[in-house]
Amino acid sequence: MHFAPRVTATTVSSPALRARALAAVCLAFLTFAGLGLPGDRALAEGLPSLGSAKTSQLEQQRQFYLAARNALQLKQYTVYQQYRDRLHGYPLSPYLDYYYLNRRLSRLPSEQVSQFLDSNSDSHLGDKLRQRWLLTLAKKNRWQEYLSFYSADLRSTTLSCFALQARHASGDELALQEVEPLWNVEHSQPNDCDPLFDTWIAAGGLTPDIAWQRFNKAMSAGNRTLGNYLLRYLTGEELKLAELQIEIGRYPHRIARSERFQQQSPAIQNIILYGIKHYARQDPLAALQAWYRYDAQQLFNSEQRHETQQQLALYLLRKGHHDEVTQLIADIPEISSKTLTEIIIVDALKQQDWPKVHQHIVKLDLDAQREERWLYWRARALEQAELSDPVYNSAGEIYTLLAIRRDYYSFLAADKLGRDYHLGDTPANINPEKLLTIQTNPAARRARELLAIGDTTNASREWYYMSRRLNSEDEHIAAASLAHQWGWHNQTIISLASARSWDDLQMRFPLAYDKQVLAAAQKHSISPLLLFAIARQESAFAEQARSPAGALGLMQLMPGTARQTASRAGVKYQQPHELLLPEKNITLGSYYVNELLEKYEGNRILAAAAYNAGPHRVDQWLQRSAKQLPIDIWIESIPFRETRKYVQNVLAYSVIYGYRTGSIPDMLTRSEAGQRL
């Protein structure tokens, strides 16, 4: 495959130089993006045409639907019915029926609900109304009706509890025998299950053995609140042991009082191991000394010993106690924890102890050794030290193996060899029959209409419901193709991932919102490739994306950051929901990226890390590394796995977006590659 020459900036440390470095990238971008690549602007310019007459009819139906929905919200039921009567065959008609029924559930006869469920038996709305209806029936103790509507496929703990309660109330004597698996779990169950549990307990279902089992499950899972609650069900020696474990969970340092734990019993050993692990989080050195005393005193089995030693080693490494870790793991015949081995390797990388890096990489299981990450560092170790490897003759052999792949480590390997990056862009094979099946799927038709009226939340729910029922890679690829035709980028990406289809780069890396991205890039002298890469990594171009932490929109801005950035940029910004508008989000996001680039003298690695984890954390990491680490080691040693992967993806995605726009840059600029952090 022939690629265009790489376009590389030798340095990006000043605005003037950054502007010159950007010129070639923007020229290539304009050449390609200006042609209007198919599917990349579909969402911005409207869904594909359906033919003028049909489109006109569809537009009228959309207006009727919106009018009916509005009338329903205003409780104008006569007006609602007038519009609803005009919508026979319209894909979103079931939504109106759902909204209408949901408002009146407490007063509805079962027949009316049954009619809706029969008509929408295989739909997201059918499942949703069934759940709400079951909750209504349970609240009214209409247990016979409850059982007639209940389906275990709903997979709801609350509904499962109600189902057993309904069976018991209907005279099924076997129902209470099925309660124990619901009760005996490591976490708290919904309050709605309490009446069933109370009935089960009153009938003698809860035995001391079951209560003790659940207590141990809860404590092993770190759920001390539940463990404390379960004390009421314990008696005698088990109660004393449970109270002791609760105490140690609250005050881990008390495990150091070894005179309290002299008894040789599995229960006491369990408390000791529990206490050592919790104490290690607070003070790993003190926990290590306590462990040595207990290890000499108690007869732990090999599995218990090795697991505890590996837990201690993890906490010791995180505090920088290297000598203690070396001594501790010397007693372990084989480290079974992949997490511990990987942390040891990264710690050795920070010390640039290449023999130690190699020693522990070859101890990983074979599948892990074949991962791009560890192949790259294996090669680096061979490159830096004269080592004998049991599999490979040289670092170059490993780099050659890596360079035919497409990811961050493979691009680093290609740079080591001085070769072009392997992009492996292969259009997905679309099965026409599968595509037609997806196009005519009722859930897909509803999703398309929901997109057309701006209801992306319900559109995503419909797509998810449909996708869960697809049975083959061909079907998922067809779904991705359809979403791509609509310009629905994040669902395209999700569907391709479901098919494990990674090589269609046009669909996986769309030039979405290209006008806004290019305008922002030119304004701030930022490479548009970087902005594309950040948006792709942050939200996969889901303009309505909301993270659990509260970040919003394409570039996942926190409202507080957006407010401060808008103030500095002189951009009008009042409410967080404005961040769901692509143009506003890209405007503020690009300004913030520019600020970070200026702060870190044009270094995209540091800017990307700060964009994800915050500048204060990046400053702390830089202070610790004291400009002693090569750039690849600094990235590998980022403490947060999410941020490490984020930076790696942004760098690799920038290369891929270079390819998409006709100019492939070096993944690391010369300035970045030669820098020590």
* 3-state SS string for 69-133: HHHHHCCCHHHHHHHHCCCCCCCCHHHHHHHHHHHCHHHCCHHHHHHHHHHCCCCHHHHHHHHHH
Tell me, yes or no, whether 279 lies in a domain: no
Tell me, yes or no, whether 347 lies in a domain: no
Residues 570 and 665 in one domain: yes
Residues 72 and 108 in one domain: yes
> Could you tell me which of 474, 490, 492 has the C-alpha nearest to residue 482?
492
Partnered with residue 552 across adjacent β-strands are: 546, 557
> Is-contact 363 341, C-beta < 8 A?
yes
Boundary-marking domain end, from 160, 176, 199? 199
For residue 575, CA distances in Å to 563, 591, 606 come to: 9, 18, 29
Residues 452 and 530 in one domain: no
Residues 531 and 658 in one domain: yes
Distance CA 504, CA 522 (A): 28
- Look-up of token digits 């196009």: 439
Residues 61 and 127 in one domain: yes
What is the residue type of 103?
R
Helix, coil or strand: residue 365: coil
Tell me, yes or no, whether 121 lies in a domain: yes
What length does the chain have?
677
Q: What is the pTM of this model?
A: 0.85
Tell me, yes or no, whether 139 lies in a domain: yes
- Catalytic residue status for 538: yes
Q: What is the maximum span of the chain, computed from C-alpha positions, in angstroms?
A: 88
> Could you tell me which of 95, 42, 163 has the C-alpha nearest to residue 541?
42
What totals of helices (H) and strands (E) does the chain contain, helices first? 39, 0
With a CB cutoff of 8 Å and minimum separation 6, the contacts of 413 are: 376, 379, 398, 399, 400, 402, 403
Strands (E) located in 139-260: none
Number of domains in the chain: 3
- Look-up of token digits 């930022």: 526
Provide the domain limits for residue 468. 432-508
Boundary-marking domain end, from 480, 508, 536? 508
> Could you tell me which of 156, 146, 163, 135 has the C-alpha nearest to residue 110?
146
- The CATH number for 465's domain is 1.10.1240.20
Other CB atoms within 10 A of residue 622 CB: 16
> Could you tell me which of 8, 39, 10 has the C-alpha nearest to residue 529?
8
Residues 470 and 538 in one domain: no
For residue 587, CA distances in Å to 226, 319, 522, 524, 553 come to: 47, 41, 12, 10, 12
Angle between the N-to-C axes of helices 456-467 and 473-486, in degrees from 0 to 180, rounded to the nearest 10: 160
Residues 592 and 635 in one domain: yes
- Look-up of token digits 């309904």: 166
> Is-contact 122 87, C-beta < 8 A?
no
Region for 236 from its dihedrals, namely left if φ exceeds 0, alpha if ψ lies in -120 to 50, beta otherwise: left
- The CATH number for 664's domain is 1.10.530.10
> Is-contact 7 663, C-beta < 8 A?
yes
Other CB atoms within 10 A of residue 320 CB: 11
Distance CA 47, CA 444 (A): 14
> Is-contact 554 589, C-beta < 8 A?
yes
Tell me, yes or no, whether 96 lies in a domain: yes
With a CB cutoff of 8 Å and minimum separation 6, the contacts of 486 are: 42, 43, 47, 48, 448, 451
Tell me, yes or no, whether 627 lies in a domain: yes
Question: Which helix (H) or strand (E) segment is 212 a member of?
Answer: helix 208-220
Distance CA 29, CA 266 (A): 67
> Is-contact 344 325, C-beta < 8 A?
yes
Residues 608 and 620 in one domain: yes
- Look-up of token digits 């710690």: 347
Residues 525 and 655 in one domain: yes
Tell me, yes or no, whether 210 lies in a domain: no
What is the residue type of 433?
E
Tell me, yes or no, whether 99 lies in a domain: yes
> Is-contact 420 664, C-beta < 8 A?
yes
Residues 440 and 578 in one domain: no
With a CB cutoff of 8 Å and minimum separation 6, the contacts of 93 are: 65, 84, 87
> Is-contact 162 147, C-beta < 8 A?
no
Helix, coil or strand: residue 334: coil
Instruction: Give mean pLDDT in consecutive 10-residue pieces for the chain, a chain of 677 residues.
Output: 37 44 48 39 40 72 95 94 93 95 90 94 92 96 95 92 97 95 97 97 95 95 94 94 95 92 90 94 94 90 89 90 86 78 92 94 92 97 93 96 96 96 95 95 95 94 95 96 96 96 96 95 93 97 93 95 93 92 95 96 96 96 93 96 97 97 92 91
Boundary-marking domain end, from 508, 537, 563? 508
- DSSP string across 463-530: HHHHHTT--SHHHHHHHHHHHHHHT-HHHHHHHHHHTT----HHHHS--TTHHHHHHHHHHHT--HHH
pLDDT for 22 equals 53
- The CATH number for 109's domain is 1.25.20.10
Residues 518 and 615 in one domain: yes
CA angle in degrees (0–180, nearest 5) for 129-133-136: 145
> Is-contact 387 424, C-beta < 8 A?
no
Residues 472 and 531 in one domain: no
First to last CA, the chain: 35
Q: One of 538, 543, 595, 672 is an active-site residue; which one?
A: 538
Distance CA 639, CA 643 (A): 8
pLDDT for 10 equals 35
